[in-house]
Structure 1
Amino acid sequence: MEFFWGIFFSFPVVIFSALLTLCVLYWLVAAIGILSIDCLDIAINLDDIAADMPSSGFGGLLLKFGFNEVPMTLVITSISFFGWAITYFCFRLFILPLHDFILFYFFVGAFVFVIALIAAVYLTAFVIKPIRPIFKKLSITNDYKSLLGQIVEIRSSIVNEIKGEAIYEDGGAGLILQVRGNKTYQFKRGDKAVLLRYDTTNNCYEIISIEEFNG
């Protein structure tokens, strides 16, 4: 056991050890209900990624491996686990005999870390590929169906059948939604409304006043 912990806290294994420990603590805390599973996930707008980042950048990496379609916490946990396993066994086989040669030890350790990170990314992409459709379906559902019936606040000066914006308070920064009204009720900035229906063609919500919804 002492041998295991010695490798666990040795370079480069310790980098993945720290990441994996944080991931395990996160899942334990989430399991007992203190945190929600997706509270640390990153909201990613693919249109913004395509416009602002090159295909070889972070956005391109997410799209290439399909990491944008699953919770980021799952991706990080998987990369941490595979990276830790690879560096652990590489340390036992190749790095441990070099422990007395400090400079060579750190050079080989850095090289192993880079290779392990790349391999972990590819292994993660391979493992999550079969479950990506499940998360994608859940994501599409949560994007609009789960918001139907929720109350939003009008943020644009006008809402009609052509244009309009509202904000939904989700407990964070809030979601800015495209909304459309009708001629029977004139909305103004600051009014409250209810999301009644989602138009998949125009990517917007039909809204009605709270009075109409209740009456």
Structure 2
Amino acid sequence: MQESFLIFITKISLYPTVIFTGLVMFVTLYWLVSLIGMVDMDTVEFGDSGSDTNVSDLSSTGFFTGLMLKFGLYGVPLIIILSLVSLIGWLLSYVYTSFLHQRIDSGILYYLFGTGALVFVLVVSMWLTGIIISPIRKSIAKIPKRNAANNIGKTAIVRTLSVTDKHGEAELNDGGAGLILKIRRDSDSVELPLKQGDKVLLVEYLNDSGAYRVALAKDK
């Protein structure tokens, strides 16, 4: 058992699998931190989220943005995209390391073939991730935007450790499972710092960031 574990550790530490191992460790840590409310998840959007994205015309976009659009990696939280790419890439590169890469012991060929496998695995991982998140993206797009306006004036509970003009989440009791909303506060606010458990009033919906501007709710 111990020998098998050591072999497993050795394989996931080999190039190129080690790169995806590092990514999996990163996203796992991110999810753990998110569960205790220290970070919030931002959805990847390009252009007007209310319109169809033209993935055939990438002349005005950067290389990275164009790549994301080509593979359909948008419309859902970035951490979900990164988690799927990392996990799929880790599994594929682990198979490569186990059955093919270990047969190449030459230094130059080792890294040459490894780099080629890394690029191939990354492309396949992004392609599969785009397929997986496609129905999720479509479901999110069907959520009526009027819900945002309907929430104005309601009270929510802060779930992150703090709230700033760039970060924060709150839970709104909608009579069902509850809604997790991104919230922001004015940077020049004179109110006491908002913290986890505070009640906040949803004052305004910020279209640019997809978040609500909030203020501390006054107890009546």
Q: Contact between 1:7 and 1:13, CA under 8 Å: does it hold in 2? A: yes
Question: How far apart are the structure 1 equivalents of 2:78 and 2:46?
Answer: 14
Q: 1:30 to 1:117 in 2, by over 3 A?
A: same
SS at match of 1:171: coil
Shift in Å, 1:140? 4.0
TM-score normalised to structure 2 length = 0.59
Specify the alignment match of 2:180 in structure 1: none
Taking only aligned residues, the RMSD between alpha carbons, in angstroms, comes to: 3.7
Specify the alignment match of 2:91 in structure 1: 85
Specify the alignment match of 2:38 in structure 1: 35
Question: How far apart are the structure 1 equivalents of 2:59 and 2:28?
Answer: 32
Specify the alignment match of 1:46 in structure 2: 47
Q: 1:149 to 1:21 in 2, by over 3 A?
A: same
Which of 63, 66, 69 aligns to 2:75? It is 69
Q: Contact between 1:16 and 1:84, CA under 8 Å: does it hold in 2? A: yes
Shift in Å, 1:113? 0.2
Q: 1:141 to 1:68 in 2, by over 3 A?
A: farther
* % same residue: 27
The structure whose residues are more often helix, as a share, is 1
Q: 1:10 to 1:147 in 2, by over 3 A?
A: same
Q: 1:61 to 1:3 in 2, by over 3 A?
A: same
Shift in Å, 1:66? 2.9
Give the 5 Å matches for 1:93-132: 93-98=99-104, 100-132=105-137
Shift in Å, 1:97? 1.0
Q: Does 1:145 align with 2:149?
A: yes
Q: Contact between 2:44 and 2:78, CA under 8 Å: does it hold in 1? A: no
Equivalences, count: 158
Shift in Å, 1:59? 2.7
Specify the alignment match of 1:57 in structure 2: 63
Specify the alignment match of 1:171 in structure 2: 165
Is the radius of gyration larger for structure 1 or structure 2? 1
Q: 1:171 to 1:93 in 2, by over 3 A?
A: same
Residues 169-196 of structure 1, C-alpha deviation per residue, up to 9 Å, x if partnerless? 9622879xxxxxxxxxxxxxxxxxx659
Q: Contact between 2:44 and 2:77, CA under 8 Å: does it hold in 1? A: no
Letter in 1 for 2:33: V
Specify the alignment match of 1:3 in structure 2: 7
Question: How far apart are the structure 2 equivalents of 1:34 and 1:195?
Answer: 22
Which of 16, 25, 28 aligns to 2:29? It is 25
TM-score normalised to structure 1 length = 0.60
Residues 188-213 of structure 1, C-alpha deviation per residue, up to 9 Å, x if partnerless? xxxxxx659x9xxxxxxxxxxxxxxx
Specify the alignment match of 1:12 in structure 2: 16
Q: Contact between 1:70 and 1:136, CA under 8 Å: does it hold in 2? A: no
Q: Contact between 2:43 and 2:78, CA under 8 Å: does it hold in 1? A: yes
Question: How far apart are the structure 2 equivalents of 1:141 and 1:109?
Answer: 50
Letter in 2 for 1:108: F
Shift in Å, 1:78? 0.5
